[in-house]
Copies of this chain bind each other. A is one copy, B any other.
Amino acid sequence: MKDRWIQVGVIGAGSAGDQELAWAEEVGREVARRGAVLLCGGLGGVMEAAAFGAREEGGMTVGILPGPDRWEANPYISIGVATDMGHARNVILVRSSDGLIAVGGQYGTLSELAIALKTGKPVVSLGSWNLGPPVIRAASPKEAVEKLFQVLTER
């Protein structure tokens, strides 16, 4: 199974500020540089910035979409999964990720963080909801990805 990549979920809001978008892009780049597949919600904002970053580094991106049509994905999604399940796709995104990085984010991201904690997935927060441990905090995109990979490879 050496051909199965680490799958990292990047979560965050569909409309985000400049700081978050820059962070998300850099997180995407760092994930791709480590040869991992980037999963996200497939739409705009943080999701698009992270996918853009990953693709710029030659990475693979998967969009777990809320709607019925995979072509609603942002243009940097390699593979679109059209769930047609609205917010319930958040659960699929968490379940399918080995670990997650939350970049900023609002209530949708909070629901993903909660499901990640409920299901025991490692999560790194980069300017996201402060839920205390076991959420890992990071101050930069690089630190976020490094800390997540440290947990994932220790396992």
A residues near B (Cβ < 8 Å) are 1, 3-5, 7, 37, 55, 60, 62, 64, 68-70, 75, 77-88, 90-92, 95-96, 106-108, 110-111, 114-115, 117-119, 131
Contacts and interface: CB of A to CB of B under 8 A. Distances in A.
A82 B92 contact: yes
B68 A86 contact: yes
- Could you tell me the dominant secondary structure of chain A's interface residues? mixed
A85 B92 CA distance: 9
A112 to B, nearest CB: 8
B92 A84 contact: yes
Contacts of A1: 75
Nearest to A93: B81
A110 to B, nearest CB: 4
Nearest to A85: B85
Given A88-B88, A88-B91, A91-B88, A3 B78 contact: yes
A68 B84 CA distance: 11
